[in-house]
Amino acid sequence: MTNSPRSVSDRTSSVGAFGLLSEPARRWVERQGWTSLRDVQERAIPAILAGGDVVVSARTAAGKTEAAFLPLLTKVEGDAAGFRIVCVSPLKALINDQANRLEGLAEACGHPLHRWHGDVSASAKRRARENPSGVVLITPESLEAILLRQGVHARPLFAGLQAVVVDELHAFIGTERGIHLQSLLTRVEAIAGRDRIDRIGLSATLGDMALAADCLRPGDGPSVRLVEGRDAGNVVKVQIRGYVRPTRVPEDAIASSRHAPGASPREDGSDPAFEAVVSDLGRILRGRTNLLFAGSRRNVEAYADALTTACGSAGVPNEFFAHHGNLSRAHREEVETRLRDDPRPSTAVATTTLELGIDIGDVAAVAQIGPGSSVSSLRQRLGRSGRRPGTSAELRIFVIEDEDGPAAHPIDRLKLGLIQSMATVDCMLGGWCEPPPAAGLHLSTLVHQTLALIVQTGGISAKAAWAILCGRGPFRSVDRVRYAALLRCMHEARSPLVEQAPGGQLMLGPGGERLASGHDFYAVFVTPEEYRVVHGGQTLGTLPLDRITLPGQTMIFVGRRWRVLEVDADARVILVEPTSAAMPPRFDGSAGPLHDHVVAEMRRILSGGDVPTYLDQTARSMLEGARHAYRELGLEAASVVEVGTGVVLVPWVGTRKLDTLAAALVAMQHKPAARRHFVEVDGCDTVRIRRTLARIAGGDHPSDAALASAVPSPAIAKYDGWLSPDLMRAVVISERLETASLRETASRVLASGTDHEPGDTPHRAGTET
DNA sequence: GACCTGCTGCGGTCTG
C-alpha cells in the first residue's frame, strides 16, 4: 500500500464497493493513501453488508482484516451498551498486531477498540466490562473466562452484539480448540437471546472452502457465503536436495578409529550428512532474510547452533536465530522484530511457530529439513516468501537418507523421507491440500463445556444443557442417550464432577468444583509442566518436566551452549551458565497423521518413471535407487515383504487406516507395530498373515469396539480420563480409527499380491547385498 | 514418529 496522489474515490472502477462504505470509513481509506481496494475487499464488502455468515479467504497480507472491518464498522449501529463486534483470535500476539492495525479505523468510525487477553491488565478489562462498547479482540480462553466468571451478568455485554469475527479460522478447523470455539459462539448467541449472530471467518485459502464454512457454522455450512481472494500467487521455485548419511561402521571399528572421517553419525555434530546440510544451508541462506523450518525443537537447536558456530568460524556476524515454543516470548519477539525491521540479513530457524500470521514481512527464501508434516503446512510456509510483485517464492527441502548397507532395514531402501517430500510437493503444486478430519465426538471437550455451562448458569437441567451444547452447538453427533451416559460417568467419578439437585438441576460436585476453579480450566488443551531455564536472572525459556536434568550436564538452548549449575525442583527452575560443548536437549512428541492422498502419491512416484527437474543430482540417484528397491522387493505385485523374523505390510494408506489395520491384527493375536508408512508384524510369515488378511477382507474381523480396545493408551484429550471405557471406545472409533475402511485396506494388501497365493514361495527381502 | 495455542478475581501491601 503505497502513497499515491490519486485517491480511491477518483477511480470509477472502485466506486462499487467503496461507495457502499460509510463516510467515516471512506475517509479513513483515503487517508491511508490507497489507490484502490484489493480484490478480496471489493468482493467482501457487499457480501458482509448484506448480512449473514461469510468466510473471507485470501493469502496472508492480502488485506482480509480490512475486508471484514470496513463493512462491519460501516453497518454497526445503536447506542445501547454492549459490545458490537467480537473478534476471536488464536494468539495474543495476533490480537496485539490487529489492535495496532484497527485502532485508527475503529476510532475514525466512532467505536472504541478493546484488547482482551491474559496479558491485558485487569483494570483495562474491568473498564471494558463496566462500559462495554465497540469492538473487542479476544482469545477463546478469555471469552470462556468472561462467560464463567460473569455468569448471568455477561448478558448485557453481548445483548447488542451484531457480528462475530473469527480471525485465522483455518487455525481452528479440525482441532479440539476449534470445537471449544464453536461451543463458545453458540453459548454467546444463547446468552444474547438470539438465534444467530452473523459470523465472519477470515481464513487462508484451503483446498475445499466448504469445510471452512462448516467450521464457521456447524450443521449449516451451505448457508455460509464464500468470498475467495483472487490475487494471483507468485511463481514458485522448488528444489529438493538429497544427502546420503554413510553407513554406521561396526562398533570395533569406531573404537579403533573414533575420529576417522565418514565414521558413524554422532549426536555431537560429527555426522557428515548433517555437516554437509549445514554447510550448504550457510552458503545458500547467508546474506538474505529467510526461514528455516527444522521440524522439531531439538533440530531447531542443533541447526541453529551449527550455523551460528559456522558464522563464528568464518569470522562473520551471526545471522541464524532459534525460534520455537519453549523459548521465552521476549527472545521470540526479538527474532520476529529483526526479521521484519532490521536491514541486516537474518534467518529464523523455527518449528511451526512462524507458520501462523504473525507479521514478519516477506522473506527471500524458505528452507525445510525433511518432508514436513502436511501439504497445508508446506503451503503456509511457502506463503511467507515471494510476496512482493516481481519476486518468486523459493523453497528448498533438505532430505537426509541413510546409505544402503548390509545392516539396513529393507524398507529403508525405499527412501521414504525423499519420496514423501516429493509427494508433498507434487500435491501442493497440483493445488491439493488436506481436508480437516471428519467431525468426531469430542467427549472430553463436552465434559469441559458441561462443567462450564453449569458454572455460567449457576445450575441447569440436563435437557437444557443438551439443547445448547448438542442441539444447537458443535456436539451434534451426541444424542440424548449418549449425553445421559456422559453425565452418569461424570457423576460416578471417584470425586463426582456433577450432582443432581432435588429439582433436577445439574450442579457441580466436589471434583467439578476443583476442576472449574483451577487456573488451567479456561483452555481445552493440556500443557505439560515445565522447568524455567534461567541465566543471570533472565528466563531463556522452558524445558519439559520429565526430562532428567542434573547439575554439570550441558545442553544447547536458544541456539547457544549451556552448563546446568543448579536444579531447583520446588521453584521448577534450572540455573545455567554459558559453556563451549553441549548437545541439544530432547523434547517429547509424536507425529501427526499422514493423509491417504499423500501416501497414494508416494506409491505413484515409486512405481512411475519420470524424474522431476526439482531434484538435485543426489536426490535423483536416490530416487532411482528407491524405484529399483521397490521393484526388487516385489512391491509392484505384492504388499507383503518378509523381513527377519516377521513381515512388513505396505497397504499405501494414511495413518488412520494403518492404525486401524494394526488394531485389527492385535485383536486377532498378532504382534504388529504401526510405523509411519507401513505395519511391521513380528513372529509371523507370509502364509499366516495372508490368512488373517483374507479373513478381514471377507468381513470376519473383530467388532468396532474390539478394535478400539486394541488401541494402546487411548486417552489423549484433557478430560478423557473421566470417560467410561465404553465412551472412550466410542471416541477412539470416531476420532482415531477408520473401521469402515478395514476390509478394503486388507484387500489392498492381498489384491496386489495375486501372483503370490498362500503356499507360493514368498518374496524374501535379502539383508545380504 | 511433531508442533502450537491459553489463563480470574480477590485481598493484602506498598507508593505517591
The residue that leads in pLDDT, A144 or A4, is A144
Q: Identify the residue whose Cα has the smallest distance to the C1' of B2.
A: A591
- Please check whether strand B approaches the CB of A178 to within 7 Å: no
With b meaning 16 or more CB within 10 Å and e meaning fewer, what string describes A350-376?
bbebbbbbbebebbbbbbbbbbbbbbb
What's the mean pLDDT in A561-586?
A: 77
Judge contact between A161 and A86, C-beta under 8 A: yes
- Please check whether strand B approaches the CB of A145 to within 7 Å: yes
Contacts (Cβ under 8 Å, ≥6 apart) of A459 = A501, A505, A506, A507
- What CA–CA distance (Å, rounded) separates A132 from A158? 9
- What CA–CA distance (Å, rounded) separates A275 from A735? 41
Residue A704 — pLDDT band, cuts 50, 70, 90?
Answer: very high
A327 φ/ψ sector (left φ>0, alpha ψ -120 to 50, else beta): beta
CA of A473 to C1' of B4 (A): 25
Helices (H) and strands (E) in chain A, counts: 27, 25
- What CA–CA distance (Å, rounded) separates A479 from A456? 23
Q: What is the pLDDT of residues A409-456, one digit of tens each?
A: 889 899 999 999 999 999 999 988 888 888 899 999 999 999 999 999
Nucleic strand B contacts from chain A, 653-712, CB < 7 Å: 655, 673-676
Residue A647 bridge partners (DSSP): A642, A681
Using the 8-state DSSP alphabet, how is residue A402 labeled? Answer: E
What's the mean pLDDT in A551-577?
A: 82
Cell match 553441549: residue?
A582
Q: Identify the residue whose Cα has the smallest distance to the C1' of B10.
A: A122
Q: Is the pLDDT of residue A622 over 80?
A: yes
Return the CATH number of the domain spanning residue range A5-228: 3.40.50.300
Q: What is the pLDDT of residues A531-552, one digit of tens each?
A: 888 898 888 888 876 555 677 7
Residue A233 — pLDDT band, cuts 50, 70, 90?
Answer: low
Residue A591 — pLDDT band, cuts 50, 70, 90?
Answer: low
* pTM of the full structure: 0.89
- Please check whether strand B approaches the CB of A259 to within 7 Å: no
CA of A47 to C1' of B1 (A): 44
CA-wise closest residue to A347 among A314, A388, A326, A317: A317
Contacts (Cβ under 8 Å, ≥6 apart) of A382 = A236, A366, A393, A395, A428
CA of A616 to C1' of B4 (A): 32
Residue A556 — pLDDT band, cuts 50, 70, 90?
Answer: confident
Question: In this structure, how many other beta carbons lie within 10 angstroms of the beta carbon of residue A475?
Answer: 28
Name the nt closest to A118 by C-alpha to C1': B7
Q: What is the pLDDT of residues A4-17, one digit of tens each?
A: 444 454 444 446 89
Q: What value does the mean pLDDT of chain A take?
A: 88
CA of A468 to C1' of B10 (A): 32
Residue A547: predicted pLDDT:
57
Return the SS3 of A523: coil
CA of A144 to C1' of B8 (A): 11
- What CA–CA distance (Å, rounded) separates A572 from A40? 49
- What CA–CA distance (Å, rounded) separates A55 from A349? 33
Q: What is the pLDDT of residues A55-94, one digit of tens each?
A: 999 887 788 999 999 999 999 977 778 999 999 999 999 9
Q: What is the pLDDT of residues A185-200, one digit of tens each?
A: 999 999 999 999 999 9
Q: What is the pLDDT of residues A341-382, one digit of tens each?
A: 999 999 999 999 998 778 888 899 999 999 999 998 998 899
CA of A186 to C1' of B8 (A): 22
Q: Is the pLDDT of residue A141 over 80?
A: yes
State how far Cα A499 lies from the chain centre: 37
Q: What is the pLDDT of residues A714-760, one digit of tens each?
A: 888 999 999 999 999 999 999 999 999 999 999 999 876 444 433 33
Using the 8-state DSSP alphabet, how is residue A17 labeled? Answer: H
Residue A230: predicted pLDDT:
79
Nine cell digits for residue A760? 507360493
Query: Which residues of A441-572 form beta strands (DSSP E)?
Result: 460-461, 498-500, 505-508, 530-535, 538-544, 554-557, 560-568
Return the CATH number of the domain spanning residue range A443-516: 1.10.10
Judge contact between A578 and A560, C-beta under 8 A: yes
Helix ranges (H only) for A238-328 are 251-256, 272-285, 297-314
Nucleic strand B contacts from chain A, 359-378, CB < 7 Å: 373-374, 377
Dihedral, CA atoms, A379, A384, A387, A393, nearest 10 degrees?
Answer: -60
Q: What is the pLDDT of residues A248-272, one digit of tens each?
A: 654 443 333 333 333 334 444 468 9
CA of A253 to C1' of B7 (A): 55
Q: Is the pLDDT of residue A404 over 70?
A: yes
Return the SS3 of A535: strand
Residue A2: predicted pLDDT:
40
CA-wise closest residue to A613 among A111, A78, A233, A239: A239
The residue that leads in pLDDT, A569 or A537, is A537
- What CA–CA distance (Å, rounded) separates A608 from A432? 20
Return the SS3 of A536: coil
CA of A121 to C1' of B16 (A): 21
The residue that leads in pLDDT, A712 or A607, is A607
Q: Is the pLDDT of residue A18 over 50?
A: yes
Residue A625 — pLDDT band, cuts 50, 70, 90?
Answer: very high
- Please check whether strand B approaches the CB of A519 to within 7 Å: yes
- Please check whether strand B approaches the CB of A588 to within 7 Å: yes
Q: What is the C-alpha radius of gyration for chain A, rounded to an integer number of angstroms?
A: 28
A577 phi and psi angles, rounded to 5 deg:
-135, 155
The HSE-up count of residue A391 (CA atoms within 13 Å, CB side) is 14
Residue ranges covered by each domain of chain A: 5-228, 236-415, 443-516, 633-769
- Please check whether strand B approaches the CB of A139 to within 7 Å: yes
Residue A583: predicted pLDDT:
57
What's the mean pLDDT in A124-135?
A: 93
Judge contact between A217 and A223, C-beta under 8 A: yes
Judge contact between A547 and A516, C-beta under 8 A: no
CA of A169 to C1' of B15 (A): 45
What's the mean pLDDT in A601-615?
A: 96
Cell match 548397507: residue?
A405
A23 phi and psi angles, rounded to 5 deg:
-60, -45
With pLDDT > 70 as the criterion, what percentage of chain A qualifies?
Answer: 90
Residue A228 bridge partners (DSSP): A57
Query: Which residues of A273-415 form beta strands (DSSP E)?
Result: 290-293, 320-323, 347-350, 365-369, 393-402
CA of A116 to C1' of B13 (A): 27
Q: Is the pLDDT of residue A765 over 50?
A: no
What's the mean pLDDT in A578-602?
A: 74
CA of A293 to C1' of B16 (A): 50
The HSE-up count of residue A251 (CA atoms within 13 Å, CB side) is 0
Nucleic strand B contacts from chain A, 23-82, CB < 7 Å: none
Residue A582: predicted pLDDT:
59
Nucleic strand B contacts from chain A, 146-175, CB < 7 Å: 146, 149-150, 175
- Please check whether strand B approaches the CB of A646 to within 7 Å: no
Name the nt closest to A172 by C-alpha to C1': B5
Residue A769 — pLDDT band, cuts 50, 70, 90?
Answer: very low
Name the nt closest to A659 by C-alpha to C1': B1
Rounded alpha-carbon distances, angstroms, from residue A232 to A38, A42, A429: 12, 15, 14
Judge contact between A439 and A458, C-beta under 8 A: no
Name the nt closest to A350 by C-alpha to C1': B3
Nine cell digits for residue A214? 462448516
Residue A86: predicted pLDDT:
98
Residue A109: predicted pLDDT:
94
The protein footprint on chain B, as nucleotides within 7 A of a CB, is 1-10
- What CA–CA distance (Å, rounded) separates A559 from A541? 12
Question: In this structure, how many other beta carbons lie within 10 angstroms of the beta carbon of residue A161?
Answer: 22
State how far Cα A621 lies from the chain centre: 33
- What CA–CA distance (Å, rounded) separates A449 from A197? 20
State how far Cα A407 lies from the chain centre: 36
- Same fold: A5-228 with A236-415: yes
Q: Is the pLDDT of residue A99 over 70?
A: yes
Helix/strand/coil percentages in chain A, nearest 5: 45, 15, 40
Q: Is the pLDDT of residue A166 over 60?
A: yes
CA-wise closest residue to A141 among A100, A177, A101, A105: A177
Strand A505-508 with A460-461, pairing: antiparallel
Residue A105 — pLDDT band, cuts 50, 70, 90?
Answer: very high
CA-wise closest residue to A233 among A367, A385, A364, A66: A385
Q: Identify the residue whose Cα has the smallest distance to the C1' of B3.
A: A352
Residue A511 — pLDDT band, cuts 50, 70, 90?
Answer: very high
Helix (H) or strand (E) holding A242: strand A236-245
Nucleic strand B contacts from chain A, 547-576, CB < 7 Å: none
Q: Is the pLDDT of residue A763 over 70?
A: no
- What CA–CA distance (Å, rounded) separates A174 from A334? 32
Return the SS3 of A708: helix
CA of A766 to C1' of B7 (A): 57
Transcribe A615-684 into DSSP letters. B-HHHHHHHHHHHHHHHHTTTTT-SEEEETTEEEE-----HHHHHHHHHHHHHTT-EEEE-SS-EEEES-
Judge contact between A182 and A473, C-beta under 8 A: yes
Rounded alpha-carbon distances, angstroms, from residue A450 to A483, A488, A506, A520: 10, 12, 9, 16
Transcribe A175-197 into DSSP letters. SHHHHHHHHHHHHHHHHTT-S--
CATH of A236-415, one of 1.20.1420.30, 3.20.20.140, 3.40.50.300, 3.40.50.720: 3.40.50.300
